[in-house]
Amino acid sequence: QVQLVESGGGLVQAGGSLRLSCSASGIFFSASHMTWYRQAPGAQRELVARISMGGSTNYADSVKGRFTISRDNAKKTVNLQMSSLKPEDTAVYYCNAVYQFNDALEFWGQGTQVTVSA
């Protein structure tokens, strides 16, 4: 069965760095677009960063220059390297996968908490 598992969240001081990882199983990972979303309490879910099957990337304006998304198709993982973290980055971060040949095949991880202290 398809499973996405996020890891790497935790507490960090403002200005610090954190690396999130999403491990996939039971999915055609190399043929899937991978996206990190986040949701703060009481706020709407927002797209943070996306990497396509071909490796093209997109970032939310709020994280450009600070976050880097990458993927390792052999390991079936997608990573999010976060630097210069701000308290506004505090949220639950979710991994999302969409199969490029059928976008009805969409999967979500359970999320990992990132808390940035001031």
C-beta atoms surrounding 94 within 10 Å? 20
* Look-up of token digits 């210069």: 84
Q: Can you give the pLDDT at residue 82?
A: 98
Q: Of the candidates 59, 105, 62, which has an alpha carbon nearest to the alpha carbon of residue 80?
A: 59
Q: Can you give the pLDDT at residue 78?
A: 98
Q: Can you give the pLDDT at residue 1?
A: 84
Which residues pair with residue 98 across a beta bridge? 33, 106
Q: How far is CA 37 from the centre of its chain?
A: 6
Q: Can you give the pLDDT at residue 98?
A: 95
**Taking the chain (118 residues) in consecutive chunks of 10 residues, what is each chunk's mean pLDDT?**
95 98 93 97 96 96 98 96 98 96 93 97
Beta strand 112-117 with 10-13 is parallel
